[in-house]
Amino acid sequence: MPNKSLLNFSIKGCFLDNRLKEESFDSFQAKALTCFEEVKAAYHDKKLPALSVIYDQDQLTHYQQIAQTWQKRFKNVVLFGTGGSSLGAQTCIELYQTRVSAPASSPYFHFMDNIDPHTFNHLLEGIDLQTTGFLVISKSGTTAETLCQFLSLINAFQDKLVQDQVIVITEPKNSPLRRLAEHHQYQVLDHPSQIGGRFSVFSIVGMLPALIAGIDVQELLAGAQQYLSQEIEGGTHNAVQGAALSYAYYQQFGCTQTVLMPYIDRLSAFALWFRQLWAESLGKEKRGITPINALGTVDQHSQLQLYLGGPNDKFFTLVMLDTFSPAPKVNTDDPELAYLHQHTLADLMRAEQNATVATLIRQECPTRTITFPQLNERTLGALFIHYMLETMITAKLLGIDAFDQPAVEEGKILTREYLSRKAS
């Protein structure tokens, strides 16, 4: 594999006159490195399947056959799933699918990750059933939202929905979703039991939708493998530094929020994926760092005022491209617009992202940047792995388990109780 790093990190904006000093950071980094060694040992002992799955080539052979069939047959694919059952796939597919179109050789994906009846009905009324496939994903097979969507679909179309139009992905155990799929003789594929939903992007949960959408999954996995190798064996320790900085600012300066702000539209879903990963993994035992997703430049006009003028309780990561897509130069003879004359959208984007970084640092806001020459499958694979590692290390620094989510179970139980009372 090439030795060149896929992602370039700068943390100089995290060492500030009146806040964290480099010399005091050393102790936090040493503690994070100890935590990383625990993560590394677990990986080598094959106790982190969310990471080791990136080397499982056998899983792809069957998925590729399904993907080729669906690409030929369907113009649209609807994915029913929420949280980790959807966000990883959304992030991968956002590489090439826009809000209005998909590559000509691939179906257009509709992600139904919420249960607003208006949105659901609007989708069903607008699709051509004959040219639409349905993916239904729930690890546990008990997710109320996904089950209700699936039942609504079956009730709406009944015998018009043929068996090979639907694929269900769920754990290999008895569950309402598996029973429902088997009753209607829909194809059921196994969700790996040992991988939690928010860590499942490199499993069938993310890879099958990505393949159907025409994503180069081999390149995605190659980027993940390259980055993981550099972090685990190569000693680059970007994830260690990131976790140590988050923990240092949390402990010493009360930075209880972390902002991920890509200046790339195609990473807006990635910021949502990160938000779930970080929140569900770290928010436990009355501890945690609240993740905030933002998007440059648009959120300079909504959130930046708060970041600069509000409480200084946030750690910032800005994700930026080194190079941009070609764009024509603009011409104007208006003196007030002279600063735009003979510049492009790319020039403006570069100027705004650099100005935001500089302004945050001047206001003593700890700011890290991640840059890379282009966004493609390989760099996206690296980003996924980086944030999985950084999350795992931060969890150990906080003394919590990154892989459970006990607090959300109470809400699920209450929801069922409310519905049961209404039905009785």
Nearest-angstrom CA–CA distance, 240 and 321? 23
Region of residue 286 (phi > 0: left; psi between -120 and 50: alpha; otherwise: beta): left
To the query of whether residue 110 is one of the catalytic residues in this protein, the response is: no
- Do the Cβ atoms of 271 and 294 come closer than 8 Å? yes
Nearest residue to 135 via CA among 64, 218, 206, 57: 206
- Do the Cβ atoms of 257 and 289 come closer than 8 Å? yes
Candidates 12, 22, 412, 417; catalytic one: 412
Nearest-angstrom CA–CA distance, 103 and 213? 8
Beta bridge partners of 293: 260
Nearest-angstrom CA–CA distance, 323 and 387? 23
Q: Is 95 helix (H, G, I), strand (E, B) or coil?
A: coil
Packed helices 176-183 and 144-157: angle between N→C axes, nearest 10 degrees:
20
Q: What is the DSSP letter of 190?
A: E
CA 162 from centroid of its chain's CA atoms? 32
Strands 367-372 and 108-112: unpaired
Q: Interior CA angle at 9 toward 6 and 14, to 5°?
A: 170
CA 89 from centroid of its chain's CA atoms? 8
Candidates 145, 171, 280, 390; catalytic one: 280
- Do the Cβ atoms of 42 and 396 come closer than 8 Å? no
**Whole-Å CA distances, 411 to 407, 416, 418:** 8, 9, 11
- Do the Cβ atoms of 79 and 108 come closer than 8 Å? no
- Do the Cβ atoms of 277 and 387 come closer than 8 Å? yes
Whole-angstrom Cα Rg for the chain = 23
Q: Is 18 helix (H, G, I), strand (E, B) or coil?
A: coil
To the query of whether residue 280 is one of the catalytic residues in this protein, the response is: yes
- 335: its two tokens: 């003196």
Identity of residue 135: L
To the query of whether residue 412 is one of the catalytic residues in this protein, the response is: yes
Q: What is the DSSP letter of 317?
A: E
**Location of structure tokens 């039942």:** 151
Candidates 286, 301, 336, 410; catalytic one: 301
Which residues belong to the active site? 280, 301, 412
